[in-house]
């Protein structure tokens, strides 16, 4: 009799049934008696100050409780660090209702509190504002001459500046027989998850310093981040706040930082001593962070034989006037390709916009989209197949850091992806493949994303009924966290999946960092594995103390946990049931809290990254310029795959997003007003079912015992980073036109 192994199996999502039946509750769906509702009023100008704000008409409505503005808001923390969060860039974070100053269009300037949502919304329409308007700047291109280096500091450690130049790019490029230079532009994009941002604060009266306790249901990618922000801003002891977020209806990075509805709901609940709910509208979802508009220049030089000798990659991105938001945009070419002469540069321009925010594969998809199009252009100029060109310029080391990769099966990604796609049938000549009036294009690109790990804590409890409960204050933003953590725990303690429950999204649980950057499987997964291993040791010690224990003179290394039992490796008949162990503990549950830590001494000697090879087919209507992505094959090397089903969904989601980024997504700003004009899902286009055709995912076997104890690398970003470039390169192959501005809309092709 052997134990079922769950890691590596395509287990269905354990939270799936609750989601499709409506049992899963999101932040806006929690109710409590006598709940008040808040509606936010946003500015209509991009820069200036409020001369007068009139709230009398709103307050005159029966059922309107209060209108908060900068004139009557309660006293709040004044120093910058109180407003910092786990994802805050250098600078002074935005403070809602701080003063009369308007810093960007649609800035929140008032909060109407009423007995119902409908009443609050109507009352908000009666609030009138008189502004003193000032000239604003929202156009990156028009202000790129003001580009500067970002500020440095503790907040930028996770996004370090580009390294110093290597070799002599200018001389090597000038001497290169093959040269390409191009400027690449992409517009602002907004996250637009299905679930709008909402916070429900349930107030409970008390005699403590805070005057009560607060249970906060927040739309967030990290409850620990929300409680850190709320406690500091409002000077409330951590013990008096509990933040809960069991389900998140999509985030894509928008929930990494606390958004202003959390501030508004907490402020109102604290001041009014009432429970308050604040839900943002779809239009208001365009009033906070976004992927920044970015202008990039890429220049590549190569020998006549196609060996890359020079690489230049610079980026200029937008940020707000109050924080220096940056991304790692330009480093990836220096990591993927071996030229000895490399210059990389990243600068920012302060504009009258809100601070940009990490958006799925921040910086990575931006930089790789430009880089891999330039590499494709260089391969074409050299007369070498794009796959062969990349193999010719392949490196097993990270030239940028001068370190070996902990593992890198990118060659196999190229081989398996090309074979599955049928790449050898490609005619390299642009406009050479067609189906009637449709031009057919085949393109490919490389993807890379860092495999990171942070510290996290987890608790494991063997309950009195012999079942296992594991918990950590992480999040599940649709990635399958509930499921894979249950699989890890079940395998580690040798228990059937149905006897294991994993809980998350609650600050009463052991702390975990925000879920983003493809690090949750490695970070929280390591904590879950660690705590289950520590609990196993504790259970073994209890088993040794039992009367007539078969383990009295046995060491821990001589036993195995299997089929809800501890048994001797050499003799499976010598065993003790876990239920018997917990029974012998006086009927009390056995619990353990542990911390999972990255092995920095081991990891710092290597670059740790996931890799991919993406192959795309497009058809382009020769008369209309419309583009359809008919096929994509993505071959991914990302270490150990914990669950092929949820993993495949992650890559598919990235591929769909890549279609949207390549062809559709663009937040259009009218610089006359400094305001995003297409602030709805009717006008902000994302990929829908009709845009998605044949998507194929290959997971390339990759063993890595350096990256973390589980050998996983994370999948949230690697599925996206290479897709837009592969599509853009396919469009070039189909049409002969090199489009360097995303999205590739039909007007750019006609």
Residues classed as catalytic:
717
Judged by DSSP in three states, 310 sits in: strand
Q: Is the CB of residue 647 less than 8 Å from the CB of residue 641?
A: yes
- Tokens standing for residue 518: 């493809």
CB burial of residue 29 (10 Å; 0-12, 13-18, 19+): middle
Sign of CA dihedral 287, 288, 289, 292: positive
H/E element, 697: strand 694-699
Separation in Å, CA 628 to CA 296, 411, 421, 619, 660: 26, 28, 17, 5, 11
Strand runs labelled E in 134-187: 178-186
Residue 504, Cα to own-chain centre: how many angstroms?
18
Please tell me the distance from the alpha carbon of residue 41 to that of residue 280, in angstroms, as a whole number.
Answer: 10
Please tell me the distance from the alpha carbon of residue 667 to that of residue 724, in angstroms, as a whole number.
Answer: 17
- Tokens standing for residue 290: 């976004």
Who contacts 8 (Cβ-Cβ below 8 Å, separation ≥6)? 640, 641, 642, 643, 644
Please tell me the distance from the alpha carbon of residue 730 to that of residue 124, in angstroms, as a whole number.
Answer: 49
Please tell me the distance from the alpha carbon of residue 378 to that of residue 389, in angstroms, as a whole number.
Answer: 9
Tell me which DSSP letter residue 291 carries.
Answer: B
Size of the chain in residues: 750
H/E element, 308: strand 308-319
How many Cβ atoms from other residues are within 10 Å of residue 532's Cβ? 26
Residue 100, Cα to own-chain centre: how many angstroms?
33
Judged by DSSP in three states, 206 sits in: coil
How many Cβ atoms from other residues are within 10 Å of residue 78's Cβ? 9
Separation in Å, CA 435 to CA 121, 381, 688, 712: 53, 26, 24, 42
Q: Is the CB of residue 52 less than 8 Å from the CB of residue 118?
A: no
Peptide bond into 186 cis (omega under 30): no
- Tokens standing for residue 484: 């894979």
Please, what is the angle between helix 644-663 and helix 364-382, to 10°?
70
Please tell me the distance from the alpha carbon of residue 342 to that of residue 113, in angstroms, as a whole number.
Answer: 56
Tell me which DSSP letter residue 148 carries.
Answer: B
Please tell me the distance from the alpha carbon of residue 497 to that of residue 474, in angstroms, as a whole number.
Answer: 20
Sequential DSSP letters for 208-231: STTSEEEEEEE--S-HHHHHHHHH
H/E element, 441: strand 438-450
- Tokens standing for residue 697: 């995912």
Please tell me the distance from the alpha carbon of residue 597 to that of residue 600, in angstroms, as a whole number.
Answer: 9
Phi and psi (nearest 5°) for 156? -100, 10
- Tokens standing for residue 475: 């999040």
Q: Is the CB of residue 191 less than 8 Å from the CB of residue 254?
A: yes
């Amino acid at each position: 009799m052997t134990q079922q192994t769950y890691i590596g199996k395509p287990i269905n999502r354990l939270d799936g049934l609750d989601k499709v039946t409506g049992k899963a509750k999101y932040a806006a769906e929690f109710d409590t008696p006598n709940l008040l509702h808040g509606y936010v009023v946003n500015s209509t100008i991009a820069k200036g100050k409020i001369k007068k704000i009139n709230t009398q008409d709103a307050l005159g409505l029966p059922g309107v409780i209060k209108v908060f503005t900068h004139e009557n808001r309660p006293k709040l923390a004044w120093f910058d660090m109180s407003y910092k969060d786990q994802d805050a860039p250098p600078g002074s974070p935005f403070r809602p209702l701080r003063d009369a100053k308007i810093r960007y269009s649609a800035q929140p300037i008032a909060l109407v509190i009423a007995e119902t949502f409908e009443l609050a919304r109507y009352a908000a329409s009666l609030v009138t504002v008189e502004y003193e308007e000032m000239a604003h700047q929202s156009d990156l291109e028009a202000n790129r001459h003001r580009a500067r280096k970002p500020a440095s500091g503790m907040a930028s450690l996770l996004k370090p500046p580009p390294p110093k130049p290597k070799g002599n790019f200018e001389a090597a490029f000038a001497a290169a027989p093959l040269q390409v230079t191009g400027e690449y532009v992409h517009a602002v994009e907004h996250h637009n998850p299905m679930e709008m941002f909402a916070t429900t604060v349930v107030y409970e009266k008390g005699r403590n310093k805070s005057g009560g306790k607060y249970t906060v249901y927040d739309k967030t990618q990290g409850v620990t981040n929300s409680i850190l922000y709320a406690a500091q801003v409002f000077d409330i002891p951590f013990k008096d706040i509990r933040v809960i977020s069991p389900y998140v209806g999509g985030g894509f990075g928008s929930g990494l930082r606390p958004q202003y509805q959390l501030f508004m709901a907490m402020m109102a609940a604290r001041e009014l001593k009432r429970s308050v709910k604040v839900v943002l509208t779809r239009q208001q979802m365009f009033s906070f962070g976004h992927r920044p508009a970015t202008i990039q220049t890429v220049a590549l030089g190569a020998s006549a034989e196609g060996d890359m000798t020079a690489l230049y990659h610079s980026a200029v991105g937008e940020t707000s006037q109050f924080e220096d938001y940056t991304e790692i945009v330009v480093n990836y070419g220096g990591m993927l390709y071996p030229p000895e002469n490399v210059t990389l540069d990243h600068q920012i321009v302060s504009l009258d916009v809100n601070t940009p925010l990490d958006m799925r594969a921040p910086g990575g998809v931006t930089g790789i989209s430009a880089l891999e199009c330039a590499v494709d252009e260089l391969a074409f100029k050299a007369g070498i197949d794009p796959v062969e060109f990349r193999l010719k310029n392949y490196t097993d080391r990270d030239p940028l850091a001068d370190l070996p990769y902990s593992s890198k099966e990118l060659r196999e990604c190229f081989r398996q992806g090309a074979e599955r796609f049928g790449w050898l049938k490609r005619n390299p000549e642009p406009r050479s493949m067609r189906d009637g009036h449709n031009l057919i294009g085949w393109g490919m690109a490389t993807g890379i994303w860092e495999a990171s790990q942070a510290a996290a804590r987890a608790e494991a409890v063997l309950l009195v009924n012999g079942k296992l409960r594991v918990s950590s204050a992480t999040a599940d933003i649709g990635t399958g966290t509930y499921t894979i953590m249950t699989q890890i725990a079940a395998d580690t303690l040798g228990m059937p999946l149905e006897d294991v429950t994993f809980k998350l999204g609650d600050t009463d649980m052991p702390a975990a960092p925000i879920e983003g950057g493809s690090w949750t499987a490695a970070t929280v997964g390591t904590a879950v594995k660690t705590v289950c291993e520590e609990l196993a040791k504790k259970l073994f010690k209890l088993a040794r103390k039992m009367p007539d224990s078969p383990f009295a003179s046995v060491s821990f290394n001589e036993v195995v946990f299997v089929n809800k039992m501890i048994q001797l490796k050499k003799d499976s008949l010598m065993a003790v049931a876990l239920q018997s162990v917990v029974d012998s503990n006086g009927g009390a549950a056995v619990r353990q809290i542990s911390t999972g830590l990255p092995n920095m001494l081991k990891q710092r000697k290597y670059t740790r990254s996931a890799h991919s090879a993406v192959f795309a087919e497009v058809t382009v209507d020769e008369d209309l310029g419309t583009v359809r992505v008919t096929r994509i094959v993505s071959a991914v090397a990302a270490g150990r795959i914990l669950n092929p089903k949820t993993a495949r969904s992650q890559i598919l989601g990235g591929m769909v997003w890549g279609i949207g980024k390549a062809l559709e997504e663009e937040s259009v700003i009218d610089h006359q007003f400094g305001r995003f004009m297409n602030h709805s899902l009717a006008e902000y286009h994302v990929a829908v079912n009709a845009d998605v055709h044949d998507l194929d995912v290959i997971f390339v076997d990759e063993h890595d015992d350096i990256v973390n104890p589980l050998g996983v690398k994370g999948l949230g970003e690697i599925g996206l980073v290479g897709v837009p470039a592969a599509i853009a390169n396919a469009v070039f192959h189909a049409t002969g036109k090199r489009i360097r501005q995303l999205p590739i809309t039909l007007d750019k092709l006609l």
